[in-house]
A and B are shown apart, each in its own frame.
Chain A
Amino acid sequence: MTAVGEMIAEGQIGDRLWFYANYHCNLRCTYCLTESAPGVERREFGKDQMLERAREAKELGFTRLGVSGGEPFLLDYMPELVTSLGSELPTIVLSNATVFNKRRLKEIEPLADLPVHVQISLDHPEPEDNDEMRGPENFRKVMEAVPKLVERGIGVRIATTLEDPDAADPHEMERLCELHRAMGVPDEDHVVRPIINRGRAASNGMGVLAGFEQLEPELTLTADGAFYSPFGPTVRGGQLDTDLLVSRTTAPVREPAETLARIVANRPAGNDASIGIR
């Protein structure tokens, strides 16, 4: 086993390798970490690059993959890529679920036979509350898309992002859970997480502070380099945040992985509080 593999097995660094597939999005959410929106610089990582690095990550000892953005499914090759990634390792793809037209649904049908989950954001059980943060018609589109994925046997997780999960109205949460259950998504596939005070959320004065000391180390590869966490490669005022940058080098994956392992090994003890965001 590689040194990185040993640290993964011991839980010192996360077992999932994350990719930022792109930065552009058809939505403009108020709390978006990456200031994603239509027309922003795409910063595509690249299909072949992601697949190559995923295969190397598997050899190093990573056991899971994650794909985020932007909206990954705005990229035409994403269904094929996720099929390939899911054939290598269990994979989760974060999506806003608003781009699953008939053609896209057909293209992702092979995911039903693979350990792949599509994680879809749904923040509130009422359309007006949800859409205030995520944009017009988002609620309706999610409510339409999730059953279509579930019907096809594709794994779906629902992610709810709130200003303060601990202060959430239990009645509202219950209504939201009733919704995802009704769509065929069980409670174990529903995650609730806080807004992180980075990117557009920081500009809007939202979310909890999260830095090096609060985040779990999960190697995250982007077109701009390798980061400490998927909450690292954020954008504010059009500028990429570099405070959680590990290296500009992303290949071979061993290099940023070993650097991350070294950073973790040297991290001061007693400051490992995790926000537990997935």
Chain B
Amino acid sequence: MSSSVTQLPHAENGNRATASVVGLLDAQQAPILARPYYADGRPPSPITASLAQVPEILELTLPFVGRVLGPTAVDVRTKELVIVRTSALMECRYCVQTHTAVALDSGVSAEELRALRGEGEIEAVFTDPGELALLAWVDAVALGRGAVSEDVTARAKEAMGDPELVELTLVASATLMLNRYCSALGLPTSASTLSRLADEGLA
């Protein structure tokens, strides 16, 4: 395995289920600006339901997060590699669990997910040089201080064009923000996601 990719401990830390630190607003209590995010009748995500406490922030944050983490010119599988890896490095229980399910739907295999989550060897599972360069870049972005090393930067530049590098760095950065937000506020993973992960052997 490349020395640029961080070995993750089998972290129990951060994986405990918690009750939300803040109130999660239901549809009846959704402020006017938040109502479009409750319109489909399904329970909103806990990120939405917590951000609804501050509707003027919600109406800027959710479109931003949706645009950065959602479908764009960069394929969804690649984005999910970044999101799951970053979340695992940050030990964000909610983000790891939720995006493990999303990643499965985006074509990431269970074996790849275990590796991203630190439960397997990355280099034993990922063979594409571009993806390995990306994962090294993500590790440096998520865990590093100051500039990314020249070696990791050179590999990333070789694997990706500037627009892709910009976007995926922003995906990692936005994920870092959400990791701390979700962990600090103890946002709960949905029962359906936990059930899905159990079925897939990824609980």
Contact = CB atoms under 8 A, between A and B. Distances in A.
B52 A242 contact: yes
Interface in A237-256: 239, 241-249, 255
A259 interface: yes
B74 interface: no
A45 interface: no
A247 B31 CA distance: 8
Nearest to B32: A263
B118 interface: no
Interface stretch (B9-17, B53-61, B120-128): B53-61
A241 B52 CA distance: 12
Contacts of B30: 242-243
13 contacts: A212-B32, A241-B29, A242-B31, A242-B52, A243-B28, A243-B31, A245-B32, A246-B31, A247-B55, A247-B56, A249-B56, A259-B56, A263-B32
A20 interface: no
Interface string A222-241: 00000010000000000101
A236 B25 CA distance: 14
A111 to B, nearest CB: 35
A246 B30 CA distance: 10
Contacts of B33: 246-247, 259, 263
B20 to A, nearest CB: 15
Nearest to B27: A243
Contacts of A244: 31-32
Interface of A: 212, 228, 239, 241-249, 255, 259, 263
Most chain A CB within 10 A, of B23, B53, B54, B55, is at: B55
A155 B56 CA distance: 38
B135 to A, nearest CB: 39
A245 B31 CA distance: 5
Contact of B54 (A239, A248, A259): A248
Interface in B13-64: 23, 25, 28-33, 52-56
B52 to A, nearest CB: 7
A245 B23 CA distance: 15
A176 to B, nearest CB: 36
Given A228-B32, A242-B29, A244-B32, 12 more contacts: A239-B23, A242-B53, A243-B29, A245-B32, A246-B32, A247-B33, A247-B54, A247-B56, A248-B54, A248-B55, A248-B56, A259-B56
Contacts of B25: 242
Contacts of B32: 212, 228, 243-246, 263
B23 to A, nearest CB: 8
A134 to B, nearest CB: 28
